[in-house]
Amino acid sequence: MYDVIFPLLPAGLILANEPMSKHTSFKIGGPAEIFVTPENTSQLSSVWKTCLEKNLQVTILGGGNNVLVSDDGIKGVVIVTEKMNRIEINKNEITAESGTKLHTLADAAQKASLSGLEFAHGIPGTVGGAVFMNAGAYNHEIKDICESVTTLLPSGEIISHEKQFLDFGYRKSRFQKESAIITEARFRLESKSPNEIKSYMDELMSKRRSTQPLDKKSAGSTFKRPSQPNYYAAKMIDECGLKGFTVGGAQVSTKHAGFVINTGSATAADVLALMDAIREKVHAATGILLEPEVQMLGFE
């Protein structure tokens, strides 16, 4: 399949057998058969059209921060939106393409005296992934500020969805159930002093550094918060005495039990085995079966 031609893409934006370990925060994952990084919506549309015409499997990836890729890699075409990162500011609204990193967007908002994205500054990932998962932290979520989302459909049509149609919930959005690619999102923010915004961002980052293993290879929070009131995944894992619990090169962080980290040589199989063990032990102790927050890619 390496002779597939994507008409609008320069050759340098297409790679064969690209190790996904180079493109995920876990630093884990086998090769993508074809790895493509379009620079704009036209190129993205052209790539997707070709994939549909040739019946190729397609995987969409942003910053690779909330995913675990199989040791066998990913079949078909992996489309990474990281080069689609344009930002536009209009009064108290900021629009960003899906590949824009959240910390870059938050910095741009701060410099423009716009408040509301401070919580996102420390979230690793991109706008597309954050909208897809309704990312959140410190009692704030993307849904609180997102006004509209633009998507590309398989037909090539570009559709904009207003806030009331986004179906946001805890770590979910309408896009998890649709065959569409997020291309950009528009956020409504509030005017505030840049110094005040920066101070709040610094405060939240200080909290993160003191409680989370930001210096380790991980995919962020491993499990979702249980639906039962007053239950938290990290607290339950900790109470089961699992901090430091290790399978191969994968370990439950000793700093924050909600994070599984790659100690340096972890495989996807190690991480999965560790996650299964965590779920089993927590279920035995509490009757609650934890649901993974990390997205699994390349697994049959």
- Share in percent of the chain as helix, strand, coil (round to 5): 30, 30, 40
59, HSE (Cβ side, Cα atoms, 13 Å):
24
* Number of folded domains that form the chain: 3
1 pLDDT higher than 60: no
Please confirm, yes or no, whether 93 is among the known catalytic residues: no
CATH number assigned to the domain comprising residue 283: 3.90.78.10
Which of residues 1 and 25 earns the better pLDDT score? Answer: 25
| Average of per-residue pLDDT across 159-165 | 95
| Residue in 21, 33, 171, 173 annotated catalytic | 171
136 pLDDT higher than 80: yes
276: CB partners within 8 A, 6+ apart: none
Question: pLDDT class for 6, splitting at 50, 70, 90?
Answer: confident
216: CB partners within 8 A, 6+ apart: 253, 259, 261, 262, 263
| Residue in 118, 221, 253, 279 annotated catalytic | 221
236 is a domain residue: yes
Cα–Cα nearest to 220, from 137, 276, 115: 137
Which letter, b or e, does each residue of 36-74 get, where b requires 16 or more Cβ atoms within 10 Å of its Cβ? bbbbebebbbbbbbbbeeeebebbbbbbbbbbbbbbebb
Question: pLDDT class for 2, splitting at 50, 70, 90?
Answer: low
| Average of per-residue pLDDT across 153-164 | 95
In this structure, what are the phi and psi dihedrals at residue 145, rounded to the nearest 5 degrees?
-125, -10
pLDDT tens per residue, range 10-35: 878 999 999 999 999 999 999 999 99
pLDDT of residue 68: 98
187 pLDDT higher than 60: yes
Which letter, b or e, does each residue of 18-27 get, where b requires 16 or more Cβ atoms within 10 Å of its Cβ? bbbbebbbbb
pTM for the predicted model, two decimal places: 0.92
Rounded Cα gap, residues 121 and 204, in angstroms: 9
288 is a domain residue: yes
297 pLDDT higher than 60: yes
261 pLDDT higher than 60: yes
pLDDT of residue 3: 56
pLDDT of residue 141: 96
Owning domain of residue 230 = 213-297
Question: pLDDT class for 174, splitting at 50, 70, 90?
Answer: very high
151 is a domain residue: yes
202 is a domain residue: no
Cα–chain-centroid distance for residue 204?
A: 19
Question: pLDDT class for 8, splitting at 50, 70, 90?
Answer: confident
143 is a domain residue: yes
| Average of per-residue pLDDT across 65-83 | 96
Q: Is 217 in contact with 27 (CB distance < 8 Å)?
A: yes
Rounded Cα gap, residues 151 and 252, in angstroms: 36
Rounded Cα gap, residues 31 and 180, in angstroms: 24
Question: pLDDT class for 5, splitting at 50, 70, 90?
Answer: confident
Q: Give SS3 for 195.
A: helix
Question: pLDDT class for 273, splitting at 50, 70, 90?
Answer: very high
Mean pLDDT value across the chain: 95
| Average of per-residue pLDDT across 110-118 | 98
Residues 56 and 147 both lie in one domain: no
Residues 52 and 91 both lie in one domain: no
Tell which of 197, 225, 240 closes a domain.
197
Tell which of 23, 54, 80 closes a domain.
80
Rounded Cα gap, residues 199 and 183, in angstroms: 31
Q: Give SS3 for 268.
A: helix
Please confirm, yes or no, whether 155 is among the known catalytic residues: no
Which DSSP symbol is given to 88?
E
6 is a domain residue: no
CATH number assigned to the domain comprising residue 191: 3.30.465.10
pLDDT of residue 109: 98
Please confirm, yes or no, whether 171 is among the known catalytic residues: yes
Q: How many CB atoms lie within 10 A of CB 106?
A: 22
Residues 75 and 94 both lie in one domain: no
